[in-house]
């Protein structure tokens, strides 16, 4: 087997962060605008860039695009402050740690590189994963994050380029199904399919297995509890 790039979604796939995302949005909004944030844009499967923009529009902020980078800086700056809350209120999803360990085992499956493809800004992804003991098997330098681009599909290209640069390959070496995207929303599946990657759905977030199958996932798992099944889904 050649190189394989496995890109895990974070929220709803590897972990449940206990709702700290919303807390952070409230904190940053209050700091930037001096008032209370009344409503959030939908978050599941979307990038922070997209969520921030729509949330600011909903709050009636004029020229909201001007503030997206400031908001991202705010989220990043406050990420460490939610570590204890994630550790207390959040949880690693069943089987996540075992799946990461099985895939990351030395020499087990040829050259498997595993990282994340997430809508979170990188500091927050890192804090969530570390707080719940899931960080160590992941090569976060080759991941793609919610501050890299508004569109999730673009994040697949970002991760391929980073993996190629770090491992001395050409981006094309991770093209097509040499990349596997695993996530809990139809947007994860769409991002995979739009970039020719293999799409694995896992129904532990806010969407049932049927919605992920309908979106076109090559395989849909109910959860990550059967490590053998997860490996077969990712390595097929
Ligand atoms: Mg998710």
User: Is residue 235 within 8 Å of residue 109, measured between CB atoms?
Assistant: yes
Q: Is the pLDDT of residue 2 over 80?
A: no
Candidate from 1-10, 27-36, 54-63, 67-76 with smallest mean pLDDT? 1-10
Residue 33 scores a pLDDT above 70 = yes
- What's the DSSP call for residue 62? S
Name the pLDDT band for 25 (thresholds 50, 70, 90): very high
Query: What is the DSSP track for 90-136?
Result: -EEPTTHHHHHHHHHSTTBTBSEEEEEB-SS-HHHHHHHHHHTT-ST
Q: 63 C-alpha to center of ligand 1: Å?
A: 28
| Ligand 1 centroid from CA 13, angstroms | 6
Per-residue pLDDT tens over the stretch 55-73: 999 999 999 999 999 999 9
Query: What pLDDT is stored for residue 219 in this prediction?
Result: 98
Query: Phi/psi of residue 114, each to 5°?
Result: -120, 135
For strand 15-16 and strand 91-92, is the pairing parallel, antiparallel, or unpaired?
A: antiparallel
Distance 22 CA to ligand 1 centre (A): 15
223-232: pLDDT as tens digits: 999 999 999 9
Residues with CB under 5 A from ligand 1 (ion): 9, 11-12, 184
CA of 36 to the centre of ligand 1 (A): 26
What residue ranges do the domains of the chain occupy?
4-17+91-235, 20-86
* DSSP-based three-state secondary structure for 211: helix
Cα 14 to middle of ligand 1, angstroms:
8
Rounded to whole angstroms, the Cα distance separating 154 from 25 reads 23
Burial 15-37 (b: 16+ CB within 10 A, else e): bbbbebbebbbebbbeebeeeeb
CA of 174 to the centre of ligand 1 (A): 22
Residue with tokens 């959030």: 40
Centre of ligand 1 to C-alpha 39, Å, is 20
Q: Note the pLDDT tens digit of each residue in 86-108.
A: 999 999 999 999 999 999 865 55
Q: How far apart are CA 40 and CA 49, in angstroms?
A: 13
Average confidence (pLDDT) over 126-152? 96
The CATH code that applies to domain 4-17+91-235 is 3.40.50.1000
Res 168 pLDDT > 80:
yes
What whole-number distance in Å separates Cα of residue 165 and Cα of residue 169?
Answer: 6
183 CA from centroid of ligand 1 (Å): 6
Average pLDDT over residues 119-131: 97
Could you tell me the distance, in angstroms and rounded to a whole number, from the CA of residue 230 to the centre of ligand 1?
Answer: 17
């Amino acid at each position: 087997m050649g190189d394989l790039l496995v890109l895990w979604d974070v929220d709803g796939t590897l972990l449940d962060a206990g709702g700290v995302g919303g807390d952070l949005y409230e904190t940053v909004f209050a700091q930037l605008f001096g008032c209370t944030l009344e409503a959030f844009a939908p978050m599941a499967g979307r990038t922070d860039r997209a969520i921030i923009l729509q949330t600011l529009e909903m709050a009636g902020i004029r020229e909201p695009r001007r503030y997206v980078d400031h908001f991202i800086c705010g989220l990043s700056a406050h990420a460490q402050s939610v570590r204890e809350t994630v550790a207390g209120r959040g949880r690693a999803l069943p089987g996540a740690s075992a799946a990461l360990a099985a895939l990351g085992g030395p020499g087990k499956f040829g050259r498997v590189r595993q990282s994340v493809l997430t809508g979170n800004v990188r500091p927050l992804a890192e804090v969530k994963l570390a707080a719940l003991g899931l960080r160590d098997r992941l090569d976060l330098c080759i991941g793609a994050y919610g501050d890299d681009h508004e569109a999730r599909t673009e994040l697949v290209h970002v991760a391929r380029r980073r993996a190629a640069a770090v491992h001395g390959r050409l981006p094309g070496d991770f093209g097509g199904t040499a990349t596997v995207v695993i996530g809990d929303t139809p947007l994860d599946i769409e991002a995979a399919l739009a970039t020719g990657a293999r799409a694995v759905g896992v129904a532990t977030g806010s969407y049932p297995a049927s919605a992920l199958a309908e979106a076109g996932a090559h395989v849909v798992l109910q959860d990550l509890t059967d490590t053998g099944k997860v490996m077969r889904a990712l390595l097929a």
